Structure 1
């Protein structure tokens, strides 16, 4: 069983229906120290939903965080996301430049701790 390293960098991805929705979620995540950085990118999505194939313009939100903040960030996304079933994926980082990883850890440190 792999060990849990709460400071290990993690990327979380979701898609939103508008740039404004992506910006609002990104700002909230960064302001609450749940993400060190958020990147927003326009994408075209083709997917199955409720028995049909749909095509929509969406906005991908990439959030840079740590394993230790993953659960709190996921809860925030679930709370604020406008979709009935938001796509939310976490991707473990295999390697990161050590100073960059330390910056992520510092940026998401709980200010109340």
Structure 2
């Protein structure tokens, strides 16, 4: 398969995650999104070790729409250099994969 991706990022607040989810799904760059949190993260940032709470955002999209989704997330993310990572959805139910395909089709200009 390889044509379907789950893209993840994180934000400091639930509201920021909801805003990113609404804008990405609203523009059909992702079929849907789940927001999980708060989650506790441990990380290195600017040479220092830290921990903190974040809200995890998981978006379903197609490989064809990934680059546009990445650009959108980078433009609208509240962080200067956010984590944006995609993993391949190796397999899925036919109905789910059809939904991702249909929901990420660019809309026709009015």
Instruction: State TM-score, norm by structure 2.
Output: 0.93
CA separation in 1, counterparts of 2:10 and 2:50? 14
- Tell me how far apart the structure 2 counterparts of residues 76 and 112 of structure 1 sit (CA, whole Å): 19
Instruction: Show the counterpart of 1:98.
Output: 94
Q: 1:66 Cα shift?
A: 0.5
CA RMSD of aligned residues (A): 1.4
Query: How many pairs were matched up?
Result: 108
Give deviations 1:78-109, integer Å, cap 9, x for gaps.
00011121000010111011111011100010
Aligned equivalents of 1:70, 1:50: Cα separation in 2: 28
SS of the residue corresponding to residue 8 of structure 2 reads strand
Runs of 4+ in 1 over 2 A off after TM superposition: none
Q: 1:54 aligns with which of 33, 50, 53?
A: 50
Matched, 1:21 2:16: yes
Unaligned runs of 5+ in 2: none
* Normalised TM-score (structure 1): 0.91
Q: What is the SS of the residue equivalent to 1:68?
A: helix
Partner of 2:67: 71
Select which of 3, 8, 12 maps to 2:7: 12
